[in-house]
Amino acid sequence: MRVLFCGDVVGRAGRRAVLDHIPEIRRRLDLDVVVVNGENAAHGYGITADICRKFFDAGIDVITGGNHSWDRREIVPFIDADIRLLRPLNYPEGTPGWGAAIYPLRDGRSIMVFQVMGRLFMDPLDDPFAAADRALLNHRVGQSVDCIIVDVHAEATSEKASMGVFLDGRVSLVAGTHTHVPTADGRILPGGTAYITDIGMCGDYDSVIGMNKEQAVARFIRKIPTGRLEPAEGDGTLSAVFLETDPDSGLARTFAPLRLGGRLPEVWPA
């Protein structure tokens, strides 16, 4: 299976990068599934039903969320009705929506996607490691499903790396989101799981993690309220990772970064 996972989409610049490039990337890499983290897609805070529909129309199959999943109140009925929009699995029981789902492909194969949110320097949610264990209780990669993708939405690199080790050999990919900076540690772990601490963002890199740089710097040097940060709206870069799985085991066979457009150097999988 050939999968593309795009990092956090930040504001209009990120949406443009995704909508402009995904159709071409799907054709060029002959992708089976595209996953996007969309929790910052609506002007940097949350996502709307209209943005979700535009993403689906452009060829995105699954959208994951994060700590900004609920910033747009109008998304609640949509997230409760459309299983293609996920939120972190380790929210308390009774939270609207799904944290994990299995998606059938037209050729009879299936992919499972789930998201957990870290607890270090984040909201005090339920244990993400126990939540991941529960999600995998009745599913084995290469057996009940052909591919399993995990979005670890967390601040601390140590927590993301620990999740990678914890799930090594049990899932196809553990990919970190939330910090908006692409890391250089993408690799296939000893057990066969692809791992990266952070995919990076889809957005304008002439910024501070996607936000207006003057506003962001002012917060650090003045230490007085400056209002809500606004997304930078220059040329957006699409930051993603490409995964190809082994058809028998469902574990990673090829794993590489993909970056296109904007200010970062262009990178395509070999």
Write down how long the chain is. Answer: 270
Q: DSSP strand E in the chain: where?
A: 2-6, 33-37, 62-64, 100-104, 110-117, 147-153, 173-177, 187-188, 194-196, 238-245, 252-260
Q: From the CB of residue 229, how many other CB atoms can be counted at a distance below 10 Å? A: 19
Structure tokens at 17: 């990068």
Catalytic residue among 21, 68, 178, 180: 68
Contact between residue 27 and residue 58 where contact means Cβ atoms under 8 Å apart? no
What is the arrangement of strands in the sheet containing 2-6, beginning at the earlier edge strand?
62-64, 33-37, 2-6, 238-245, 252-260
Say whether 68 is catalytic: yes
C-beta separation of 250 from 148 below 8 A: yes
Give me the residue label for tokens 């799904």: 98
List active site positions.
68
